């Protein structure tokens, strides 16, 4: 048996825009993505008898191929033309579940990276990202990580200049949102606020956190049911009043992120939000 433990970082969206619906049922996206220091730990025990399964200690997470980590292992085995039968994937969850922060996709990406090392398959990071495409739209980004523009379904990735040193507060309200339902709502609505993606990329290029903060926006915020939208707006306002340079919902939500240049303000904002919300995290870009 060979074993390996990997970190699986959460991702946030600094911007999220939808350019249109596609004939294949997906949507054409344009998103500025960032990985952050909040991580799951994923341990692979290759050869541990019992088939390919995922264990997390969370009863509501599937153990079989409905878990993205297991789906990634199956996709990897097929792409590599290998025939091993036994893999125990142990996931120590720190990233909130169903939160718009790619926890499941990041676990899947960690499985791909880990199996590449353990089996000596020799895929390049780009090849590994391609293996992840079939597993989920965010998996290719999670394989590569860092600061990137994601286009297409999310699989066309262009690395961007890393964020200058900063602090990102994450706050997840208690409700959960169905990603397909949110896309369907976007399909129905006509007038939409959109992020300035080009402006955000220019701000990143110049290392200008203030200009970046002003351009953070997620098009899904405009199509949320009104009660959820009010709660998201409330968290964004609290973050801005606490000194955030910008705030937006991440992915299909409901996690909200606030961008800070000062750690003391970020810490104070996180402490304040913890009075109301159970899942609040102070992170840095990675």
Catalytic residues: 11, 138
Site membership for ligand C5P, residue 183 (CB under 6 A): yes
User: What is the Cα–Cα distance from 55 to 69, expressed in whole angstroms?
Assistant: 10
What is d(CA 195, CA 217) in angstroms, rounded to the nearest whole number?
Answer: 5
CB of 184 to ligand C5P, least distance (A): 8
65 contacts ligand C5P (rule: CB under 6 A) = no
Q: Give least dist CB 132 to ligand C5P, A.
A: 10
Q: Which residue is nearest to ligand C5P (CB)?
A: 137
Binding flag, residue 214, ligand C5P (CB under 6 A) = no
Give the torsion through C-alpha atoms of 181, 137, 280, 213, to 10 deg: -100
According to CB under 6 A, which one of 3, 176, 179, 284 is a site residue for ligand C5P? 179
Alpha helices in the chain (DSSP H): 68-80, 103-119, 125-132, 139-144, 179-188, 197-205, 209-214, 226-241, 263-274
CB of 137 to ligand C5P, least distance (A): 3
Which is nearer to ligand C5P, 7 or 179 (by Cβ)? 179
Degrees, nearest 5: CA angle 142-168-7: 35
By beta-carbon proximity to ligand C5P, the closer residue of 45 and 221 is 221
**Residue matched to tokens 């910008």:** 246
Among residues 1, 26, 85, 165, the one that binds ligand C5P under rule CB under 6 A: 26
One residue of 9, 103, 132, 136 binding ligand C5P per CB under 6 A: 136
Phi and psi based region of residue 50 (left: phi greater than 0; alpha: psi -120 to 50; beta: remaining): left
Q: Which is nearer to ligand C5P, 28 or 86 (CB)?
A: 28
Cα–Cα distance for residue pair 44/174, rounded to 1 Å? 31
Q: Which is nearer to ligand C5P, 140 or 258 (CB)?
A: 140
Q: Which residues bind ligand C5P (CB under 6 A)?
A: 26-27, 29, 136-138, 153-154, 179-180, 183
């Amino acid at each position: 048996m060979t074993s390996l433990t990997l970190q699986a970082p959460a991702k946030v969206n600094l911007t999220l825009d939808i350019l249109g619906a596609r004939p294949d049922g997906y949507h054409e996206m344009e998103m500025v993505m960032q990985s952050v220091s909040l991580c799951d730990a994923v341990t692979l025990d290759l050869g541990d008898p019992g088939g390919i399964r995922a264990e997390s200690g969370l009863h509501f997470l599937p153990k079989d191929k409905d878990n993205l980590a297991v789906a990634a292992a199956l996709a990897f085995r097929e792409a590599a033309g290998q025939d091993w039968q036994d893999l125990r994937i142990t996931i120590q969850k720190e990233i909130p579940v169903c939160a718009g922060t790619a926890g499941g996709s990041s676990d899947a990406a960690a499985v791909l990276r880990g199996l590449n090392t353990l089996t000596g398959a020799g895929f390049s990071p780009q090849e590994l990202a391609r293996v992840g495409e079939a597993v989920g739209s965010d998996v290719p980004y999670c394989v590569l990580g860092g600061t990137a523009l994601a286009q297409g379904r999310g699989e066309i990735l262009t690395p961007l200049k890393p964020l200058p040193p900063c602090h990102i507060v994450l706050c997840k309200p208690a409700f959960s949102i169905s990603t397909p339902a949110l896309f369907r709502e976007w399909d129905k609505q006509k007038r939409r606020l959109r992020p300035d993606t080009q402006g955000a990329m220019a701000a990143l290029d110049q290392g200008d956190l203030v200009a970046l903060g002003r351009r953070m926006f997620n098009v899904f915020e405009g199509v949320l049911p009104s009660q959820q939208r009010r709660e998201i707006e409330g968290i964004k306002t609290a973050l801005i009043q606490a000194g955030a340079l910008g705030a937006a919902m991440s992915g299909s939500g409901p996690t909200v992120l606030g961008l800070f240049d000062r750690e003391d303000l970020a810490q104070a904002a996180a402490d304040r939000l913890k009075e109301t919300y159970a899942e609040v995290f102070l992170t840095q870009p990675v």
